[in-house]
Amino acid sequence: MPLFVLPYPAIDPVLVELGPFAIRWYALAYIVGILLAWRYMTRLVHNDRLWQATPRPSAADIDDFVLWATFGIVLGGRLGYVLIYNLPYFMEHPAEIFHVWQGGMSFHGGFLGTVVAMVVFARLRKVPMLTLFDLAGTAAPIGLFFGRIANFINGELWGRVTDVPWAMVFPGAGPLPRHPSQLYEATLEGIVLFLVMRLLSHRFAMLQKPGFIAGAFAASYGIARLIGERFRMPDEQIGFLSFGTTMGMQLSLPMIVAGAALMLWAIRRRPTPDNRAKERKA
């Protein structure tokens, strides 16, 4: 046991409550994350220096895409959690599938939901699909940061037992101090990933290599998640899997491989006039 334990700042998960109407920190975090990501993507498409002759969506395209992305994140994230992490429980309590405000979102499900939304949107609007993926990759860490902060406020997804000086005792997690793993993940998946994507887009001009930043985000998130999972307790209903891995680790490994492959393909690809024309029509 550590000599000192940081007190968990028990924050009411409900920010404002007016009769039956309540605004929860969890929902607010998603809203703020999506709005900031939208504004950031809009600024990127307005910055001609980042693109040169590379085709890109218009600001109006980004405005319309936000709604598609929101549905992809929420529906994919919730379905991913229900199907992957806690299907037996929700089969017994199907009405709670819709209780998103109580927590329970899967990043990997939200990731797949957003990919589907991007593919459909790009084909319908005739915007460059890979570039849309890249833009989403630059902005996604913003949402991830706020999502992890919401996990911390909700007192969920806490860490493993530890004796580090900054350990906390979380409500509902027993009397032992634990890693505040939500804050670790907010730092890795949010701040660090944002800076990496920013460096790729602004310092190395990788928005001019369609697909590279999307691959870099997928691979970098997978690595960040692998690190974060070393400090986070696995979901109680799943526990540890083979070789001491967790579900989060196993779902992240394919992201790392696929992301690295996409980066390699994008950096080796030599855009031609024909390729640029196809990207405009994608």
Which residues contribute to the annotated binding site?
A: 148
Helix, strand and coil in the chain, % to nearest 5: 65, 5, 30
Buried b / exposed e over 84-123, threshold 16 CB at 10 Å, is bbbeeebeeeeeebeebbebbbbbbbbbbbbbebbeebbe
Q: How far apart are CA 173 and CA 150, in angstroms?
A: 17
Angle between helices 212-229 and 129-154 (to 10 degrees): 20
Q: Please count the other Cβ atoms lying within 10 Å of the Cβ belonging to residue 280.
A: 12
Question: How far is 150 from 156, CA to CA, in rounded Å?
Answer: 9
* Cα separation, 256 vs 243, whole angstroms: 19
